[in-house]
Amino acid sequence: MEGISPDQESVGSGTKRSSVSSGGRHRNQKEFLRRFMDSEILTANLEDWFDTISENSASDMFDVPFELVELQQFDYALEGVSFQQLVRMPSAVYASTSDAVEATAYLAIEDFLHAGVKGLWETFWSEGEPLPFYVSCLYNENMKFYQAERAITNGKLGGLRATAVLLKNARHPHGRWDEVLVLALLRPDIGNLASESARFPPISIMGEALYFAIRILLSRSISRTGFSLKSSPVFVLLVDSQYGGVVKVEGDVQKLDFDVNNVYECAAEWIKSHSRIAISPVDRIWNKLGNANWGDIGALQVLFATFHSLMQFAGVPKHSIEDLAADHGSRLQARRIERLLADTRINGNSLFRFQQQSGSPEIVEVPDESNKMEPDELMKLEVGSVLWLEDSNWQKGYQINEVLTDGELPYYVASSVEDPGKALFLYVGARPSQLEPAWEDMNLWYQVQRQTKVLTIMKQKGLSSKYLPQLSSSGRIIHPGPCQRPDAGGNCDHPWCGTPILVTSPVGEPVADMVRSGRFGSDEAIKCCHDCLSALATAASAGIRHGDLRPENVICVTSGVRHPYFVLIGWGHAVLEERDRPAMNLHFSSTYALQEGKLCSASDAESLVYMLYFSSGGDLPNLDSVEGAFQWRETSWSKRLIQQKLGDISAVLKAFADYVDSLCGTPYPMDCDIWLRRLRRHIHEEEHGKEVDTSG
C-alpha cells in the first residue's frame, strides 16, 4: 500500500530537514529507534486505519508477495532438495498450558527455519561452504537474540517473542537488528485465517508484524555496514502450530518524520502514506505429526520469502531458479520412461509427410514402421514434416524445411502449406503431462508460451518496427487421430495434445552463425548495433525490455530485401513489469542484472555492447561463476578493453560503449534517438538514405 504524499518539513522546530547535518540526522534516527520499543502503542495508532481496511476488502488494498506461477517455478527448482526438520512441531501448541509444549514449538520453529536456510544456501549459493547465517529467538526484555534452547534453560521461555534468521557476527553474539534477514512470529489461531478465507490478520498480530518490519528497516537505514540494503523489503512470517503466511513490507524510511517525541505517530503515518505492504494467503505448513510439507504452498511461501531475504545479503545465487527449474523437464521425461509412458505409439513416427504429386500438395499419413519407439524419438520433427496448428477457429498447416538450435533448444524454419514461398520461424513447446498439466520444461515455456505473450502485447500496443519479430500465429498442435479432450481447456491422452506452437517472421541467420563463419565484419557490427538499438527503443517505448540479448537472439535478414538488416528475436525473457526477471548469462547479462536480478534503463544496451565485443573478436573469457563475471566486467571497463576493441571497428561504436558505461546501473534513461542518428550516418548502403526506415 503506497501513498503519494510529498515530503513535509519537520513540525515543531521550524527548521528544514535539509539544514540538519548528516551527523545530527543520524543521531536523531538512532534516538528514534531507541524509543521505538512498544508494538502495542503502534497498533493503537493504527486502529482507525485497520478499521478502514476491515470495512473494505483487504484483498483490494494489498497485493500478494508472490504469484502462483513464481511459486510453481520455485517448486520445480527445489525438486530433489532435501529439507529435514528434526524437531517436530507440536500439533496443538496452545491447547495445552504446558511450558514443555510451548518450548518444543519454539525449538521446532528454530529447526524449521534452520533446515530451510541450510537447504536454500547449499542449493543456490555454495554447497559445502560454511553457512553464514544462524537462527535465534528474540527475548522481549532486552530485545536481544538467544538460541531457543539456551533461553529455555535460563528460564526465559515466557519472554520469547519471535524467531529470526540472522547473519553470523562473532562480535555480536546476541545479534544486530540490521543483520536480521527474516523474522517469524509464533502466534495462536493463524490457521483461522485459512478456514475463514480471510486475507487480513488480526489487528494485534498485524500491528506487531508492522512494528518489527519498521524496526528492521530503520536499523538498516542507520547501519554503517556495507552489506546493509536500506531499500530492500522485509519479510515477516506469521505461523502457528500448523499454518503460516508471509507479510512483506517495503518503502523509503527516509520519508519518515523522525520526531523523537512522537515516534509511534510518525511510524503510523509512514505506514499509511509511504509503505508498500503485501500479504499472502495463509496455508498449511505442518501436518498433524508435526512434519513440514515442504512442497506445499504454505511452506513454499515461507521458503521463497527466505530465499529473497538471503539474496539481499548473499547476492545473486550461483544457480538461478530458472536454471534449476529447467532441469524439471529432463526429470519428468525420466519418470515417464520409468512409468513406460514413453512407449505410447502415435502413428509410427508421429509425423505427417508432405509430398508433391502432380504439382499439388497432398498430406499422406506415414505407415506404422515399428511397434515400439525410442523415447528420444518422440516428437522429433524432421525436414518434410507437416504440423497442423489450431489458431482460434482456424487450422493452419506448416511444413518443416530446416531444423535449427539456439544453442539450447531446437526451433524450425517452416513455410505455410497455403503460402509455401514465405519462410517462417516455428517454435514447438513442451508436451503437457497427463498427470501434472503444469509440469513442463521451463526453457521451452519461455521460448513458446512466454514469448507468445510478449509478442501479443507488442501487437496489441501497435509496436511497429522491421527490427522486431512479428507474430504470425500461435495455438495448439492438432495431433493425428481423434482428439478426446474432456473439455475445451483440457487435453486428451495423446502425448501431443495441447502442445503449444508459435510461428513468427521474418527468418534470418543468427549472428552466432555469422561469427563462426567469419562473416560478421565492421559494417555488420555497426548495422547490427543500429538495428538492435532501434528494436530496443521501440520496445522500451511500451515499457518492454528484452533481458536476453546474445548472438543467438539476433538474426540477419537477407532474403527478399534490398539491404540486409538485423532483427532482435528471443523475447521470452522480456521484462514487462517489476516482478519479471531477465535471463542470467555470465557473458552477456548486464552487471545490474547479475547483481540485482533486474534491469536498469541501460541493461539491454550493455548486453548489446558485450555481444558486439565478443562477436567482433573480443577475447571470450572462461566464466564459471557470478563473481568471475563481475571481475571480468570490472577489469574490462576500467582498463577500457571493450572500448579499445570496438574502437578498432568504428569510432562511433567506441563512443557508444563509453556512453553505455556512463549509464550502467543508474536510473537515467538512454537517449536512443541521438545514437540511432549517429549510427545511421556510418552505415554503408547503396543509395543510402532512400530506403524507408521503419524503426518506429
Instruction: Report yes or no: 469 and 569 within 8 Å, Cβ to Cβ.
Output: yes
CB 263 within 8 A of CB 35: yes
pLDDT over 60 (residue 253): yes
For the cut 70, the answer to whether the pLDDT of residue 59 exceeds it is: no
Nearest to 90 by CA among 241, 238, 191, 239: 241
State the Cα–Cα distance between residues 394 and 627, nearest whole angstrom: 51
Q: Is the pLDDT of residue 599 over 80?
A: yes
Domains of the chain: 59-314 (no CATH), 316-507 (no CATH), 512-696 (1.10.510.10)
Scored b (16 or more CB within 10 A) or e, 410-425 reads ebbbbbbbeeeeebbb
Residues of the chain with pLDDT > 70, as a percent, come to 80
Least confidently predicted of 82-91, 309-318, 398-407, 439-448: 439-448
What percent of the chain has pLDDT above 90?
45
**248 touches 237 (CB < 8 A):** no
Burial of 486 (C-beta count, 10 Å sphere; 0-12/13-18/19+) = exposed
pLDDT at 8: 34
Judged against a pLDDT cut of 60, whether residue 635 lies above it is answered with yes
CA distance 260 to 696: 55
CA-to-CA separations, 561 to 128, 412, 494, 528, in angstroms, rounded:
56, 21, 42, 16
Could you tell me the sign of the dihedral formed by the alpha carbons of 282, 193, 162, 225, in that order?
positive
- What pLDDT is attached to residue 127? 66
Alpha helices in 315-404 (DSSP H): 321-326, 328-338, 347-350
pLDDT band (50, 70, 90) for residue 345 = very low
Per-residue model confidence as pLDDT tens digits over 505-555: 999 999 999 999 999 999 999 999 999 999 999 999 999 999 999 999 999
The one-letter amino acid code at 250 reads: E
At 689, the pLDDT band (50, 70, 90 cuts) reads very low
* Whole-number Å distance between alpha carbons of 140 and 358: 89
pLDDT top residue among 666 and 123: 123
Q: Which three cell numbers stand for residue 422?
A: 514465405
CA dihedral 536, 537, 543, 547 (to 10 degrees): 20
DSSP 589: S
The pLDDT confidence band at residue 238, using thresholds 50, 70 and 90, is: very high
How does the average pLDDT of the chain come out, rounded? 82
Res 116: pLDDT: 95
Residue 69 has pLDDT above 70, yes or no: yes
pLDDT in tens, 366-414: 443 333 333 333 456 888 888 888 876 678 889 999 999 877 788 999 9
Residue 438 has pLDDT above 50, yes or no: no
The pLDDT of residue 495: 74
pLDDT at 353 over 50: no
Q: What is the pLDDT of residue 361?
A: 42
Looking at residues 4-12, what average pLDDT do you find?
A: 33
pLDDT surpasses 60 at 465 = yes
pLDDT in tens, 202-220: 888 999 999 999 999 999 8
Grade residue 335 by pLDDT with cuts at 50, 70 and 90.
low
Predicted pLDDT at 52: 84
Between 232 and 603, the more confident residue is: 603
Q: Are 609 and 660 in contact (CB under 8 A)?
A: yes
Phi-psi region for residue 245, left (φ > 0), alpha (ψ -120 to 50) or beta? beta
Tell me how far CA of residue 676 lies from CA of 307, 605, 667, 672, in angstroms: 41, 12, 21, 6
Which of the pair, 194 or 475, is modelled with greater confidence?
Answer: 475
Q: Which amino acid, 408?
A: E
For 556-592, write each residue's pLDDT tens digit: 999 989 999 999 999 999 999 887 889 989 999 999 9
Q: Which residues pair with 397 in a beta bridge?
A: 388
Q: What is the DSSP letter of 597?
A: S
